[in-house]
Amino acid sequence: MNAIITASELAEELAGPRPPVLLDVRWQLGGPNLRPEYDNAHLPGAVFVDLDAELAGPAGAAGRHPLPDPETFGAAMRAAGVSADRPVVVYDGGLNWAAARAWWLLSWSGHPSVRVLDGGLAAWDGPVTADLPDPEPGTFTPAPGALPLLDADGAAALARGGLLLDARAAERYRGDVEPIDPVGGHIPGAVSAPTTENVTASGHFRSAAELADRFKALGATGDTEVGVYCGSGVSGAHQVLALAVAGIPAALYVGSWSEWSRDGSRPVATGPDPQ
């Protein structure tokens, strides 16, 4: 099953006999909670999910958005109406980073049918509402491990022996600027692959063929083990999603640069080359 769904496909499924559960994951890096925007207008039936509180654990040594406690995450998903036997569609404002984090976390936790609305709310031309839903509680119980996961040591090893993609902006990869984390630069051996290049100017994902060509040019061949990291495991999830659309499995280093850069014993490379 494709990991993304178009607005027209979603409209058709919502009108069908078995509509998916809708999760609204609007979020902005370093900004205020976007719950007020959800309260003002959202897809009918969609439940708001707070990325910082429900799709991540407390910030600390493990990074700015470490994995959430499975019990906390499972309770939040059940409260939103998520069950393993009902498909889920997640969306955000259009960037799809937050939606991809929800997609990755649910998929990693064993949910068999999760898709991201391609283009997010900006692509939706159907009805919206301010009415708050009252979903029937779901039954989903996380079973972590359905997708590959990297820790810091695993990311370092993959950078040496496979392909580790850095999904952040190129200037952060080079170390020219670092607006958030303690140190600028990248994991030695990682390849710069800004996640913004996965989408078109309209914010929709590039075709599977285009994405496959992009990742092949970066070194993802059929026998290459691939991993991804970013700042804190959010835009990196978008890269893993794009790789999935291209038919390439990839592991996510959730702690990402926000964990790596807090450990002074970890090496840091700068400049445009992997090193």
- Spatial CA neighbour of 267 closest among 188, 207, 176: 188
DSSP-derived letter for residue 195 is: G
Classify each residue of 88-120 as buried b or exposed e, where b means 16 or more C-beta atoms within 10 Å of its C-beta: bbbbbbbbbbbbbbbbbbbbbbebeebbbbbbb
Tokens (6 digits) for 61: 């040594």
User: Could you confirm whether 230 is annotated as catalytic?
Assistant: yes
Catalytic, out of 67, 220, 230, 251: 230
Q: What angle do CA 252, 253, 255 make, to 5 degrees?
A: 140
CA distances from 16 to 52, 81, 111, 220 (A): 33, 18, 21, 38
In terms of C-beta density within 10 A (0-12 exposed, 13-18 middle, 19 or more buried), how is residue 240 classed? buried
Q: Which residues are catalytic?
A: 230
